[in-house]
Amino acid sequence: MTETDRGTETVAPPRKSRRGGRLAGFGLVLVAGMALAFGTWSHYSERRQVLATAAEGRNLVPQVRVATVTPSDSIEIVKLPATTSAFASANIFARASGYVATRAVDIGDHVKAGQLLAEIVAPELDHQIAQAEATLAQLNSSLLQAQANRELAKVTWDRDRPLVEKGWLTAQQGTIDEQTLKAQEAAVSVAQANIKAEEAQLQVLRQQKLYQRVVAPFDGVITQRNIDVGSLVQADTTSGTFMFTLQQGNVIRTQVFVPQDAAFGLKPGIAAVVRVPEIPDRTFPGTVTRIADALQPGSRTLLTEVDIQNPDAALTSGIYCTVELHIPRKTPSYRISADAVIFNAGGMQVAVVANGVAHLRKIGVLRDLGSELEVDSGVRSGDQLIIDPSVDLTEGARVEARPRADVS
């Protein structure tokens, strides 16, 4: 083999290698094109799916639970705390000074009007009465004497007056007789006035004597006693001895302060129900009997008194209780579910469904009743409210309403 042949054999392998490289490059380009085409198709498919999902979301009408707005009752029930008190209560003080001779009652005793509670002895008062009676007798005798002197002076003047007129007696004598009669008449008037004054004084002493018997002013129960037999009591307008406290318990009263929003429907005769926690199986009916004419400026409440009949003495004074007032409602209001309320920058709102469209309305809340709210504006009776509305619910959104039990 010649040198030329060797050279030719030596060059041939590189020519084959270049041809194989071109094939490999072409294959890589083909694979890359196929990958790009597949990626483009995948992206196009995903975009179509996203657009289809968005279109489906735009056309989807969500189902929502709704509840109907109902009007509040015509009678508003207001429950307020209160404390019972006796219908009448009297602190009995001594009106006569002396020592307690008899104490006829004690704490817890039920008494009748006019019943003896205690008796006071005061011997010096008896002496004052005897002295006043003797003085009155003396004055009566003085009156009789003055009347006799007046009659004598009258007879003398009647006899001497004709003689004086005829000049048989001096004018001086006539003047003396006339003035003597006037003096005796004045003496009779003084004696009569003295008798009246002494009779009045004697009446005061006898009244003080009656005050020695301390009696009950009305039917009731003794709730406090501060004296015993032998106690010294003083009758004084400012520092008299406090003896008993008597309370009338056949009727119990309570005082409650009714808030302004309910006070305008309040009037005497409205029914009330009193409940005591310690007597859970019984209610006590009552009646509003007195109301104040003005609200308390600090608390905006109306003072109200309720009377409760208590014939069996089941209630006593000083018990904590609750008073339930049945007040006619003056302004209309509505009850809505608390789950329908939307809290956002626009305040408290609800979503009302009308003809498949949601409308947001601002409400005015009167009272929070727990699972329900009482409102006076924003809704009407029969409105359908969305329960648990979504956070992205907007005005005018289309919805499909279902009763609360139909949609979970």
CATH of the domain at 143: 1.10.287
What is the chain's mean pLDDT, rounded?
85
Residue showing tokens 């009696």: 215
DSSP state of 296: B
Per the domain annotation, does 144 fall within a domain?
Answer: yes
What does the pLDDT read at residue 76?
83
Q: CA 388 to CA 404: how far, in whole Å?
A: 10
pLDDT digits (tens, 9 = 90+) for 329-352: 877 788 898 888 988 877 888 999
> Given pLDDT bands bounded at 50, 70 and 90, which one contains residue 28?
confident
Residue 209: pLDDT over 50: yes
> Given pLDDT bands bounded at 50, 70 and 90, which one contains residue 406?
very low
Per the domain annotation, does 257 fall within a domain?
Answer: no
DSSP 153-208: HHHHHHHHHHHHHHTSS-HHHHHHHHHHHHHHHHHHHHHHHHHHHHHHHHHHHHHH
pLDDT digits (tens, 9 = 90+) for 56-69: 555 567 888 888 88
Per the domain annotation, does 386 fall within a domain?
Answer: yes
Given 215, 248, 278, the domain boundary residue is 215
Residue 7: pLDDT over 50: no
Summarize the confidence of residues 73-100 as an average pLDDT.
90
Given 180, 215, 250, the domain boundary residue is 215
What does the pLDDT read at residue 52?
59
What does the pLDDT read at residue 322?
95
Residue 307: pLDDT over 70: yes
**Helix (H) / strand (E) containing 304:** strand 301-309
Per the domain annotation, does 379 fall within a domain?
Answer: yes
> Given pLDDT bands bounded at 50, 70 and 90, which one contains residue 8?
very low
Strands 283-291 and 301-309: antiparallel
The one-letter amino acid code at 128 reads Q
Among 59-73, 211-225, 243-257, the range scoring the smallest mean pLDDT is: 59-73
DSSP state of 363: -
**Helix (H) / strand (E) containing 148:** helix 123-166
What CATH number has the domain bearing residue 374? 2.40.420.20
Residue 265: pLDDT over 90: no
Per the domain annotation, does 10 fall within a domain?
Answer: no
The one-letter amino acid code at 88 reads A
Residue 214: pLDDT over 80: yes
How many structural domains compose the chain?
Answer: 2
Per the domain annotation, does 8 fall within a domain?
Answer: no
What does the pLDDT read at residue 407?
39
Residue 229: pLDDT over 70: yes
Residue 345 is part of which domain span? Answer: 332-403
Longest dimension (CA), the chain: 225
Summarize the confidence of residues 72-86 as an average pLDDT.
89
Per the domain annotation, does 341 fall within a domain?
Answer: yes
Residue 324: pLDDT over 90: yes
Residue showing tokens 């209780």: 321
Residue showing tokens 């030719």: 8
Summarize the confidence of residues 38-64 as an average pLDDT.
68
Per the domain annotation, does 178 fall within a domain?
Answer: yes
Of 121, 61, 67, nearest in space to 96 by CA: 121
Given 183, 215, 247, the domain boundary residue is 215
Of 127, 184, 129, nearest in space to 155 by CA: 184
Task: Provide the β-strand partners of residue 285.
Answer: 273
pTM over 0.85, yes/no = no
Strands 320-328 and 364-368: unpaired
Residue 94: pLDDT over 50: yes
